[in-house]
Amino acid sequence: MVPSSSRRTALLGIGSAVVGSTLFGSTASFADRLGSAESVGERGGQSTDDSPSSTAHDWPMARYDAAGTGYSPDASGPGESVRVKWRREPDDFSGGTGSPILVGGTVYATSGTLVALDAETGETRFSTQGSYRSSPARADARAYQTDTLAVASPRGVFGLNAGGGLRLLGREFGVERWHGPRSESRTTLFGPPTAPPPVVVDGRVYAAIPGTDHVVALDASSGRELWRASPDDELRRPAVRDGRLFAVNWPYQVTAYDAATGERDWQTQLDEQMVLAPTATSDAVVVPDRLGVTTLDASDGSLRWRFDHDGNATEGAATVAEDVPADSEDTVFVQSAGGDGRLHAVDLATGEERWSAPVSGEGTPVVADSVVYAAGHREIVAFDATAGDVRWRHETRLPVSTPAVGDGALYATTHGQIIALEADR
């Protein structure tokens, strides 16, 4: 047993270190180094391990990658059958249907509060309150021992400690590493501005600043602004691939920028209105809208093809899976909301529909191991990517997020819950 005087001395020493770190350095780096104080979250008195190391089975940001493909060539989910692996209702987690992410065995999800759960058991590793609304994106931060999670809120873009920081004397230290560009105050009758998820590429965070007409590039370690551009108002999540950033904004504009410098490469206007978040391929950009999908040449914005589903989609994005089905051209998967809703598989090269199948409402499908996972209004459905046959259907009873898939499991959020599904063995 440690004498009470020793405990008091230790607390004084830690408190002095925090004060010194606050005055003369970064509390975030102090929180990264110190492992013996109480961690932020629900494991009172225990330390949180460093943020998990990434693996091939990770789903490190919404829609898997910065290009927004929604396709992981290495991940696998519950393919032939399904059951609930675990279901959790963390404290202060409510109202969120943003896509969770999976990094090194930890599931991260936001609903204002950031929650980190053990992917195997669903047990809470830590949680921290805030105004974090978008899905997080994992970044390798050079200045820290743990990863950074880039996340957007109605107040701007933040860099958070993926290890959870520290709680000391009733206060949190080292959770928010940086607060990047601020949002403009544009709260309306419909509430605060939406917060599109940031994306991360090679130590840079690219984000549409909520409530503004700006897209920015930030240093992932410091949040320092590297460049800023203004395509126009009501921006969606950007897509970044092969040195280009693609931004879309209401009602029908698509703009390409040099991802290194922010210089504009080209800009074009589509015929259809209400464009949704883009997806970048090796040589094209796929832009869904209310009534279909348009594919443009990535180099100059010229039209390649147009597919109409007449589905009145107001949310969601297209997913592009390489060599799916096997030994074929790449496939675009997109959900429409007309009638009872459908999932469409479209040839990326030609724009011809390969198959379609019913699914209850609009959303963003994801693909892993030749299975398409589509989140409907109150269900998640697994389809065979080749023919569109239903493999299984899981009812959620509440609206559900775009899933994250990895290492045999699927993770999603509903209002107030985080769920994990696995194969029914």
Among candidate residues 166, 38, 175, the one with its CA nearest the CA of residue 113: 175
Model confidence over 213-236: pLDDT tens digits?
Answer: 999 999 999 999 999 999 877 899
Average pLDDT, the chain: 85
**Residue 39 in contact with residue 46, Cβ under 8 Å?**
yes
Of residues 356, 367, 357, the one with CA closest to residue 410: 367
Helix (H) or strand (E) holding 403: none
pLDDT digits (tens, 9 = 90+) for 183-212: 765 555 445 557 899 999 999 999 999 888
139-162 pLDDT, tens per residue? 998 888 899 999 999 889 999 999
At residue 32, does pLDDT exceed 60?
Answer: no
Number of domains composing the chain:
1
The tokens for 123 are 């047990």
Write the CATH number for 206.
2.130.10.10
Read off the pLDDT of residues 70-97 as tens digits, 9 standing for 90 and up. Answer: 999 999 999 899 999 999 999 888 877 7
Q: Scanning the structure block, which residue is given the tokens 């020493």?
A: 13
Q: By three-state DSSP, how is residue 44 classified?
A: coil
Q: Between residues 192 and 124, which one has the greater pLDDT? A: 124
* The pLDDT of residue 53: 60
Which of the four pLDDT bands, split at 50, 70 and 90, describes residue 19? very low
Residue 101 has pLDDT above 90, yes or no: yes
Q: Is the pLDDT of residue 42 over 80?
A: no
pLDDT at 316: 93
Q: What is the mean predicted confidence (pLDDT) over 253-265?
A: 97
Q: Predicted confidence band at 51 (pLDDT cuts at 50, 70, 90)?
A: low
- Is a pLDDT exceeding 60 seen at residue 31? no
Identity of the highest mean pLDDT range in 2-16, 50-64, 263-277: 263-277
pTM for this prediction: 0.87
Displacement of CA 206 from its chain's centroid (Å):
12
Share of the chain above pLDDT 90, in %: 63
Assess whether pLDDT exceeds 50 at residue 24.
no
Question: What 3-state class would DSSP assign to 9?
Answer: helix
Q: What is the pLDDT of residues 278-333, one digit of tens each?
A: 999 999 999 999 999 999 999 999 999 999 998 888 899 999 999 887 777 899 99
pLDDT band at 174 (very low <50, low <70, confident <90, very high): confident
Q: Is the alpha carbon torsion for 307, 74, 61, 246 positive or negative?
A: negative
| Range of the structural domain that residue 116 is part of | 4-422
Sheet holding 83-88, edge to edge: 83-88, 417-422, 409-414, 404-406
Nearest-angstrom CA–CA distance, 397 and 383: 20
Residues 6+ apart with CB under 8 A from 128: 40, 41, 113, 114, 160, 164, 165, 172, 175
Burial of residue 98, with CB atoms counted within 10 A of its CB: 0-12 exposed, 13-18 middle, 19 or more buried: buried
Whether the CB-CB separation of 149 and 162 falls below 8 Å is answered with yes
**How many Cβ atoms from other residues are within 10 Å of residue 118's Cβ?**
15
DSSP assignment string, 95-143: S--PPPEEETTEEEEESEEEEEEETTT--EEEEEEEEE-SPPEEE--TT
39: pLDDT strictly greater than 50: no
> Position of tokens 């209002």?
415
Express each pLDDT in 347-375 by its tens digit.
Answer: 999 999 999 999 988 899 999 999 999 99
And the tokens for 273?
């209105």
Decide if pLDDT at 272 tops 90.
no
Q: pLDDT (tens digit, 9 = 90+) per residue, 371-392?
A: 999 998 889 999 999 999 999 9
Query: What is the Rg, in whole angstroms, of the alpha carbon atoms belonging to the chain?
Result: 22
Tokens 């994250």, located at residue: 404
Which of 337, 341, 329 lies closest to 305 in space, CA to CA? Answer: 329
Q: Residue 297 and residue 415: Cα distance in Å, rounded?
A: 38
Residue whose entry in the numeric block shows the structure tokens 């004084």: 12
